[in-house]
Amino acid sequence: MKNVLVVLLALGVGSLFGAAPSKEPSEAEIPGIIAKFAAKEAQFAQARENYTYRQTAKLHELDETGTVRGRWEIISDIVFAADGKRSERVVRAPVQSLKNILLTPEDEQDLRSVQPFVLTSKDIDKYYVRYLGRQNADEIPCYVFAVKPKGMDPGQRYFSGMVWVDDRDMQIVKSYGRGVGHQKKNSDNQFPKFETYREQIDGKYWFPTYTRADDTLFFQTSSQRIRMTVKYEDYKQFKSDTKIIYGEPAGTEKPKDTKKP
């Protein structure tokens, strides 16, 4: 996002470490754990492509007292057309009233693919993955890993932060970090830290259900506190033998506040 002098997004999150479960894996076991959870994440990523759901994103600008002074919201349904193509249908996009920040294409990418972060076996080689220890996430025994990209290609967005992996299901159940990418020279794009939680929806896979961010973004000439929430709801499986392709919905117009100035 850009401050209207330039751009946005950063967060405050809860405590990162609490009571840790017992039995640490040996150093020799860690590469196998990483490979297993990346393979399971790949299975989940493929399964999620067969689900429709509703995504509700809200962004608030806050003043010095914490009072909301600017709002942005978009409600979208991720659906399938008759030909099996996956698309995003905007259900509601009220007139935005943000005063100091503006969302950019990078923010759209983060909303779509970085905040509901999935680390698959296909992408694992793009990241450094370092084991940090064990910790319960909402009473779920987890392995905790630090994750950051090895390099950044122009136009691509990446996750940098931490992931909590269920030690039984070998899937990410929580992530905490921010979206990162190659920045153009003199760019003042700022991106918040966020925390994303998953829940077991179909008895097998853990789906993103909630993202939150609460942070102050520091631009070159000013700062702005923001609060953001994203809810992913009403997951329903779509059964089809048709190849699923993600694309823009025909005739859907993007809200003007998501365009780069």
State the chain's mean pLDDT as an integer: 87
What is the reported pLDDT for 3?
A: 64
CA torsion through residues 239, 174, 177, 38, sign: negative
Nearest Cα to 246, choosing from 45, 20, 29, 97? Answer: 45
Task: Work out how many domains the chain is built from and give that number.
Answer: 1
| Collapsed DSSP state (helix, strand, coil) of residue 48 | helix
- pTM here is 0.82
C-alpha 151/C-alpha 139 separation (Å) is 34
Q: What is the pLDDT of residues 85-100, one digit of tens each?
A: 889 999 999 999 999 9
CA atoms within 13 A on the CB side of 55: 22
- Residue 233 exposed, middle or buried by CB count within 10 Å (0-12, 13-18, 19+): exposed
Nearest Cα to 70, choosing from 124, 1, 15, 121? Answer: 1
Give me the domain span that covers residue 8. 2-258
Residue 243 pLDDT grade (very low, low, confident, very high; cuts 50, 70, 90): very low
Which two tokens mark 5? 């002098």
Residue 69 pLDDT grade (very low, low, confident, very high; cuts 50, 70, 90): very high
